[in-house]
Structure 1
Amino acid sequence: MAPENPTAEPLAELTIQTGFDIRNPGETLETILRGARLADPILEGPDGRKYATLPKEFTLRELEDDARLDPFPRQRVTVDDRASLSAYANRYSDSRSIIIADYDALTISARLDWHHHNQDSDQALRTGPNEHSATLKLRPSEEFMRWDAFVQKGFHDQETFARFLEENSCDVHLPDPATLIEISRDFEATVGQTYKSSTRLDNGDRKIFFESDSRATHDVIVPQKITLRIPFYNGEQPSDIEARFRWRAASGAVQFRLEWHRVEYHRRAHFTEIAYTASEETGLPVFIGREG
């Protein structure tokens, strides 16, 4: 005997395969609309605000995984002095941590989650995330920037040169500030006078002779060099830095300038000293260089 509804069995099979009950058009249409909303759930309203259209029964549930490790810290900290760098590194460092000192960038960085070293029997040479660090960004001190700008400008007339020396005499270690102020005032006294001659003294200083309109002769002793006692970097201890006096005469006028003496050598040495001091304070190995 033939079934009452010969299409019932094929329709049931199609419902199982597709998930749609095509025998109920209303349910099928609702399922299609829901699928369309899930494919592109974000709608933008007329006021520019955005909305997400999701079914009410949808909930967010965490999938537990007993084998999953805790997330590692992701933090990049920039500090302003060595003491802060050492304190931060001592708080968060472990056997992986190292210090990388990059002179070109003037940075000393404690990489706290670096790679495991080759003596670690459990995780030898395992790559670290390198996501947690504290970096000291060294900045030139205000004193060094002021003197360096004056040096880089080259030759100056007597009045400008004398005024700068007098205003910044407190930064000078040798000769003493009082002597330097006296020299600067001697420079000012000869402004407008005509250069006549010069003589090198036994100690390497130079005596320069000037003549006024009244034929009166004045002399100024120019030291061979001066020694500054200023910090290279902000927040660091002062260093002794030498600058050589240079002068030239043309058309009866004299100009003066200062030239650094091996200043880059001393800057690099002081940078290395800061890096190794941080290493001593933290017990971390230091590497002079940069990441490739």
Structure 2
Amino acid sequence: MAKEPINTTGEAATIADLAVRAQGVPSIIKTDDGQVFLLHPAGYDYVEVTPDNSVPVLQPKIIDQAVTLQNVDALVAYVERFKGEASLMFADIEASRIVAAIDYHGKDEPSLVKHRGTLALPFSEEWKIWRELDGKLQQQLDFARFIEENNPDISAPPAADLLEAVRDLQARRQVNFIKAVRTSSDNENFEFSDETEARTRGGLELPTQFVLHLPVYFGEPPTEIRAFLRWRLDEGKLWLGIKLHRAEHVRQAAFRQIVTSVVERTGVDVIFGKIG
């Protein structure tokens, strides 16, 4: 004899009734947390028919969240919103990365440290361009084009003097360079002979150093760095390049300045190191 389904109400009752007509007598089971299951005797199948939004949602006991920030302002805003008494930041100077451990443990209070905000500082395009050339030599025409294209980053020598030197570089592509002489104005004068102009002799003068103003990291103000002229004479051909002066010191100083600013703006302490 068929038995009546238990706890049949609403949509669950309709499904149970259809199941009875189709293949036998199902049972409806309700769990303590409000879930409803329709059991089919044939084949021991079951279908969950819990009404939408009728079961309480279990809330997590801890905040498990790792956020990647894209600039300093975003890191400051995130820390300001969620920081607590135990919050702590870690500054990895080698990786240019700052990690805010929002739920860091206290002295005698353990924590899983699952809530973090990470800022991996991206380098500026200007910094990447000059670092790419750092320590490398180019043919004189390529070097002239590089200086011409990136002239806005150079604060000294004056733009007019620099562009004049660039034009000389571009014009003296077929000459035979002989030697280089340091001038009284601390420039480098490259002497050459030009067989196409009745063996004329002349000199091409270039500054021995440049003063650059460019940001180390994206979105940050520019900082000063010096670049020294490097050159080589190779069978009459002139190869030119630059060497950035203490570039790693400049980068580390820029990073420390950013870390100091973040601490001042958030009031959260920082430790130079890496968090596991």
**TM-score of the two chains, using structure 2 as the length reference:** 0.77
Identical-pair percentage: 31
Determine whether 1:147 maps to 2:130: yes
Query: What are the residue-to-residue correspondences of 1:109-188 with 2, within 5 Å?
Result: 109-117=99-107, 125-151=108-134, 154-188=136-170
Determine whether 1:98 maps to 2:82: no
RMSD: 2.1
Q: 1:157: how far off?
A: 0.8
Q: 1:55: how far off?
A: 6.3
8 Å CA contact 2:188–2:205 kept in 1: the answer is yes
SS in 2 for 1:94: coil
Amino acid aligned to 2:171: A
- In structure 2, what is the Cα distance between the partners aligned to 1:211 and 1:277? 56
Q: 1:58: how far off?
A: 4.0
Say which of 240, 248, 263 aligns to 1:256.
Answer: 240
* Number of residue pairs the alignment of both structures matches: 226
Q: Mark the structure with the bigger radius of gyration.
A: 1
Return 175-184 or 244-253, whichever deviates more: 175-184
Amino acid aligned to 1:76: A
- In structure 1, what is the Cα distance between the partners aligned to 2:72 and 2:110? 28
Deviation >4 Å, runs of 4+ = none
1:239-281 CA-partner distances (Å, limit 9, x unpaired): 1121110111121111111111100011011111111110010
1:197-226 CA-partner distances (Å, limit 9, x unpaired): 322123432111111112222322121111
| Corresponding residue for residue 88 of structure 1 | 78
User: Structure 2 stretches of 5 or more lacking a match?
Assistant: 1-25, 35-58
Q: 1:175: how far off?
A: 1.3
1:172-215 CA-partner distances (Å, limit 9, x unpaired): 11112222211111111111101123221234321111111122
Structure having the higher strand fraction is 2
8 Å CA contact 2:156–2:212 kept in 1: the answer is yes
- Classify 1:216/1:286 alpha carbon distance in 2 versus 1 (closer, same or farther; 3 Å): same
- Classify 1:227/1:74 alpha carbon distance in 2 versus 1 (closer, same or farther; 3 Å): same
1:130-171 CA-partner distances (Å, limit 9, x unpaired): 11121111111111111222225x211111111111111011
Q: 1:104: how far off?
A: 2.2
